[in-house]
Amino acid sequence: MKQKLMLIINPAAGRGAYKLNIGDALQVLDEGGFRTTLFYTAARGDATRFAAESGANYDVVACIGGDGTLSEVIAGLMQLEKKPHLAY
């Protein structure tokens, strides 16, 4: 059974450079036993909301973005009683 991975992406970070290798990264994750769901931020606070509202449904929450995105994800996860693993 695959682990569930929530991947929160800030598309503005790094001028969208994540797009260059996202397909390869998703393939590696899949082969590594993860079923990945992507969440794209559009505004400040989205990453916090995504993590707080949906993070408990995943084994791992990861993010692609800068320190602001990571900070938001952590803030959202801190609201959860049962916290998933965090990856960056």
Instruction: Give the predicted TM-score (pTM) of the model.
Output: 0.93
Structure-token match 């929160």, residue found? 8
Question: Residue 17's pLDDT is what?
Answer: 74
pLDDT digits (tens, 9 = 90+) for 2-61: 999 999 999 998 777 777 788 999 999 999 999 999 999 999 999 999 999 999 999 999
Q: Cα-flanking dihedrals φ and ψ of residue 60, to 5°?
A: -140, 140
Q: Which residues pair with 37 in a beta bridge?
A: 6
Rounded Cα–Cα distance for residues 51 and 56 (Å): 8
